[in-house]
Structure 1
């Protein structure tokens, strides 16, 4: 990677939102979502399987709405900080995320992504080969369970979105706590209104299905954007922000329709390099920056390989499977034993 010192300066011109583009994105996101939701609800009178078609697309637009919320927490979607905060809080209700809590954890994630000494906030639980080998059996079993696709992509959305997001983190400030309470109240009121008006069974069928599809997709995006073979992890003394952004965050090259529904978040290297770039300018920032044309790139097909990456091998600087990680740890122990002088 060349021109590391100037990369952030090259990206700076794209750190500008425009009211016209932001408002249009709100319209072309929330409009289709509401229409598809209504279509799914009406289709239930014929068949759940028929209703599933608009539900799948509605889930895609819900993911897109989360990207808008995500931009608002970075104060990059609108020029006005207040507008970002107000609209971000409201649109966060759709994805069940409190504005301030997510904003705090996600800011920490950006400041520590790829830093082995500062893991634990706003990221996915990741152990190194050595840490896993030295961990007690209980912790290894918990880690294996956590890393299983069923727990991460099926139970994960239920736990994070429905449960974890409803409670304030320890030591949260009053402003953050109040924001979480406000979001919870709006969510409960909205669910009660729709459940009573539309009927609890059809409401839960439609919204529950959309929630599970979008939630699983959202966690998958977050997972794959940092869990790819040649990612970036370093101890704090060696860690560099720019390298963590361009080498530890993937360019997820998706088909155009999926790129649209995911709000360009596949250009994750740009986002980590500069969170102030609104999502609708990420593609231009990538295309017009020569130094970023060779960043780690994954496609829809190659991203499936990430499912087998469970441990970070500090020696080889790569993600490995449990099997390869255990073998690597055993080889390291053998080499260490052979290197000890005989007494």
Structure 2
């Protein structure tokens, strides 16, 4: 697997070369985009209705089973919103923004606020001196060891799988997205976006509760959204939290190098690639975020040499959960145990 530290100059040249190659794949197809939206939204509506009907018939267990594929379609809908945020789903910015805003009500994600924080993520990913917005909090081994006992415990709790992949998604989508934290001084747009999204959510929730009842709404809708939130956080985690990712201090960090070598190619089965809108081809996405998601597989087809950059399979990705600290000497993510993280530096 190609590594950035093998030759930093060569790695940076490679990344810039690929930027030029990938510019040929940027143009969205309006008909294809509309089709992608329809084959995502319509099955989601059908599954939601089927889940409610199963509950109405007294089969709550069937409703919970239906929540699994329905959650997959919510993830796919979020990925369309993600493309809108990059201005890649439709040719025009207005269409991207308004479709993204409407989807944001359904995914519980304020579009304009999220778009700004996600842009910061793309501009700073892998930069040790610019952590904190739009990323997973990651400490170096030395930073962790220098913390107090309470500080180390806090980080361990944050990185615990139950917090990271269950409690964290619930907090993020149900609570944190209700206020534009991180951009409190970013002007009026994040506030308007967030409050408008909250109002839209309130209207839909109130209408559905009035139509089908509070209990039915909670049994049908909450599992779908919770499963989608957990899957979304997992995908975001794996895309940058793998062993041979790249972190650099500001003086050595470059955007293109971090994109190509610091983002994974999550090589999933074809049906999971479909549900996740090819977001697993994340290294290509970070190199050229203006490529519509339905053209990312075409890039790998035309340039198969890109397949091996940051490639991890589904079984391999499960081992990424234990990788929690950046070891600057080994230039890889390590576990608490591998780092001897309970010891303070001398």
**Shared fold (TM-score, shorter chain, > 0.5):** yes
Match of residue 109 from structure 1: 121
- 1:158-178 CA-to-partner distances (Å, cap 9, x unmatched) read 111111111123102112211
Match of residue 48 from structure 2: 37
Match of residue 338 from structure 1: none
Match of residue 257 from structure 2: 243
Alignment partner for residue 65 of structure 1, among 77, 91, 114? 77
Match of residue 13 from structure 1: 24
- Retained in 2: the 8 A contact 1:126–1:311? yes
CA RMSD in angstroms, aligned pairs only = 1.4
- Retained in 1: the 8 A contact 2:138–2:326? yes
Match of residue 230 from structure 1: 244
Aligned partners of 1:279 and 1:290: how far apart in 2? 17
- Retained in 1: the 8 A contact 2:113–2:189? no
Runs of 4+ in 1 over 4 A off after TM superposition: 327-330
- Retained in 2: the 8 A contact 1:69–1:88? yes
Alignment partner for residue 279 of structure 1, among 287, 293, 298? 293
Matched, 1:4 2:18: no
Match of residue 125 from structure 1: 137
Match of residue 219 from structure 2: 205
Alignment partner for residue 86 of structure 1, among 98, 107, 112? 98
Deviation at 1:31, TM superposition (A): 0.7
Aligned partners of 1:154 and 1:142: how far apart in 2? 17
- 1:205-255 CA-to-partner distances (Å, cap 9, x unmatched) read 111000111110100000011011111001111111111111111000111
Aligned partners of 1:163 and 1:288: how far apart in 2? 42
Aligned partners of 1:213 and 1:247: how far apart in 2? 29
Matched, 1:152 2:164: yes
Aligned partners of 1:40 and 1:293: how far apart in 2? 38
Deviation at 1:286, TM superposition (A): 2.4
- 1:93-142 CA-to-partner distances (Å, cap 9, x unmatched) read 11100011101110000000000000000000000000000012222111
Q: Give the TM-score normalised by the residue count of structure 2.
A: 0.93
Alignment partner for residue 65 of structure 2, among 53, 57, 61? 53
- Retained in 2: the 8 A contact 1:167–1:180? yes
Deviation at 1:18, TM superposition (A): 1.0
In structure 2, list runs of 5 or more residues that go unmatched.
3-9
Q: Give the TM-score normalised by the residue count of structure 1.
A: 0.94
Deviation at 1:49, TM superposition (A): 1.6
Deviation at 1:328, TM superposition (A): 9.6
Aligned partners of 2:235 and 2:78: how far apart in 1? 12
Match of residue 154 from structure 2: 142
Aligned partners of 2:230 and 2:15: how far apart in 1? 34
Match of residue 178 from structure 2: 166
Q: What secondary structure sits across from 1:312 in the alignment?
A: strand
Aligned partners of 1:200 and 1:221: how far apart in 2? 31
Deviation at 1:285, TM superposition (A): 1.5
- Note closer, same or farther for the CA distance 1:286–1:328 as it changes in structure 2 (3 Å cut): farther
Deviation at 1:52, TM superposition (A): 2.0
Aligned partners of 1:200 and 1:175: how far apart in 2? 33
